[in-house]
Structure 1
Amino acid sequence: MLALIIDFAFGVAMGALGGFFGIGGGLIAIPVMTIIFEQSQKLAQGTALVMMVPNLVLAFWRYQQRTPLNWPLVFPLAGAGFICAGVGARLATKMDAQVIQFGFAILMIFLAMLNLVRARLAAISKSLTHPTSSRLAVLGTGCGALGGFFGVGASVVAVPVLTGVFGLTQVAAQGMALSLALPSSLVTLVTYGIGGHVNWSMGSAMALGGLLSVSWGVKWAYRAPEAVLCGLFSLFLLGCAGLLILRQF
C-alpha cells in the first residue's frame, strides 16, 4: 500500500511537470525511476508510458482549449509519428538497456542545446523555413521513431525543433507537439507492453496522480514568461541527462 501511495505522489509531481513543459512527464520520470526505483531502462520507459498517455490526453485538451491547433498541419505531423513510433519501440525492446540509456542522455543534451539557441535559429528560419505539411511529416517521422525508441513521447523531441526551426512560440510548439506525442505514445505503450517491459500497477498509480496535477502545469505554462519557460525547459533537459549519465557509473 505504501508503495502505491509513493507512486501516486510521484505521479502528481510528474503530471505537473509534464503539463508545464508539454511533455507528459515521462522525460524526468524515466531517469528518476532508473536511479531511485532501480528499474531497468526498458522497464522505466514502458512504465512511464502508462502515466504519460492519460496525462497527454488531458494536457492536449487543455492546450487545445487555450490555443486551437491548425489541424491540416497536425495530421501529417501526428500521422507520420504514429507510424514510425512503433518501429522505434520495437527496435528498442530488442536492444541492450545500457545502450538505450546512454543514447537517451545524449539526446537530452542535444535538445537542451537546440532549445537554448532557438531564438537565433528562429530568426534564420523566418527566411528559410515554414511549417508546411510535408516538412511537418518529415519531423513527425523522425520524432515518432525517436519517441518510440526512447519511450519519452515524441513531443520532447519536437518542441525544440518547432520553436528553433519553424519559429513557433514555446506554448504553441508544446500544444502542437502534444498532437504528435499522444498517438505515438499509444503505439509505443502497446509495443512495450507486449514485450513485457511495463509495471502496470506502478504506472496506473502514477497515472492517477498525474491526472490530478497536469492541468496545474498547463495553467502555469501560460502564465510563465516566454524566456523563463524556455530556460527552465533547457535546464530540465540537462538535469535529466545528468541523472542518466551518473547512472552509467
Structure 2
Amino acid sequence: MPAISLPELLMMLSLGAALGFFGGLFGIGGGIICIPMLVLGFGLDQAVAQGTALVLMVPNLLIAWLRYSQRHPVAWKTALQIGLLACITTWLVAHMATRLPTDLMRTIFSIFLLLLSLRMLFGTHATAAPEENKPRDLRYLPLVGIVGGSSMGLLGIGGGLVATPIFNGWFGQRQTVAQSLSLALVAPSSIIALLTYSGAHRVAWSMGLPMAIGGLFTVSAGVAVAHRLPERRMRLAFAWMLLATAAWMLLKPLLD
C-alpha cells in the first residue's frame, strides 16, 4: 500500500469532495473519474485503482441511495430483487477480474467508457423523452441487476452507468427514478466488490480512505442539485462527462 505525503493527503480529501458531489449529482459513486486519475495521475495498477475507488464509492453510494430513496422510493421487493442479483453477480465476476492482466483490464475499462459515453450521447439526441415511450414489462426490472453486477465486478464501476440508461430508456422511468433504481443495485453490490478486491489485496486504503471522507461532505449537495436541474440538461451533462473521461483515459498514454 503506497504511502502518501501531506500535500497528497489534502489532494485526496479535495478530490474525494469533488467526486462526492458529482457522484450525488449523477447517481454514481465517482469512480468513473477516480479510476483514470489513480491510474494516470498516481501510477496505480488498474485493479488496485478499481479497488481503491470502491473505498470512495461505497459511502457515497449509500448516502446517495438514502437521499434518492427519500424523494423517489422504490418498492422494497423490487429493490431487494435487484440488489440480490447484483451482489451475486458482482461476487462471481470480481473474483475473475482480480486475476486478469492489468493491461487487459485497462483496455476493457477504456473501451467500456468510450462506447457507453457515445451511446448515451447519441441516445440523448435520438430517442424520445422517457415519459413518451411505451413502458416495458416492469417484472423484468430485477434482471438489470445481473447486467449492473457484472460491470461492478469486472470494472469496479459501471453498475449505475449501465443500469440507469436501461431503466430510463428501456423501461421508461424518469431520469431521477432510474437513478434511484440504479442506486438500489450499485450500493449493495459495491460493498461486495470492495470486499472481494480487498481480499485479493487490490485496495490502497491510505489513498481511498481520505477520498471517502472528503466525499461524505458533498454527496448530499450533489443529490440536491440534481433535483433542481432540467432532466434533459442533466442527461446531456452526464453523457459529456463520460465522453471526456473516456477520451482522457484512451489518449493520455499515447501523449506521454
TM (norm. structure 2) is 0.91
SS of equivalent to 1:18: helix
Distance 2:36 2:107 in 1: 11
- State the Cα distance separating 1:9 from its structure 2 match: 0.6
CA-CA distance at 1:145 after TM superposition: 1.2
Equivalent residue for 1:189? Answer: 194
Matched residue, 2:136: 129
Residue 90 (structure 1) aligns with: 95
**In structure 1, C-alpha distance between the alignment counterparts of 2:164 and 2:240, rounded to whole Å:** 14
Partner of 1:168: 173
Q: Please say which of residues 167-176 and 116-125 is displaced more in the overlay.
A: 116-125
- Distance change (3 Å), C-alpha of 1:128 and 1:182: closer
- What is the rounded CA distance, in whole Å, between the counterparts of 1:174 and 1:32 in structure 2? 24
Post-superposition, which runs of at least 4 consecutive aligned residues in structure 1 deviate over 6 A?
121-125
Contact 1:102 1:244 in 2 (8 A): no
Q: 1:62 to 1:124 in 2, by over 3 A?
A: closer
Structure-2 residue corresponding to 1:147 = 152
1:50 aligns with 2:55: yes
Are the counterparts in 2 of residues 24 and 153 from structure 1 also a CA contact under 8 Å? no
Matched, 1:41 2:46: yes
Query: Which residue number corresponds to residue 72 of structure 1?
Result: 77
Q: Is the 8 A contact 2:52 2:208 kept in 1?
A: yes
What TM-score, normalized by structure 1, do the two folds share? 0.93
- Mapped to 1, the partners of 2:34 and 2:120 lie a distance apart of 20
Alpha carbons of structure 1 residues 137 and 66: separation in structure 2 relative to 1, 3 Å: closer
Is residue 28 of structure 1 aligned with residue 33 of structure 2?
Answer: yes
Whole-angstrom distance in 1 between the partners of 2:56 and 2:135: 38
Do residues 206 (structure 1) and 211 (structure 2) align?
Answer: yes
Match in the other structure for 2:3: none
Cα gap change, 1:131 to 1:110, in 2 (>3 Å): farther
What is the CA–CA distance in structure 1 between the aligned matches of 2:9 and 2:243, rounded to whole Å? Answer: 29
Residue range with higher mean Cα deviation, 71-80 or 197-206: 71-80
Amino-acid identity (%): 37
What is the root-mean-square deviation in Å for CA atoms of aligned residues? 1.8
- Structure 1 stretches lacking a partner, 5+ long: none
Aligned residue pairs, count? 247
Secondary structure in 2 matching 1:156: helix
Identify the range of structure 1 (151-160 vs 215-224) with the bigger mean alpha-carbon deviation.
151-160
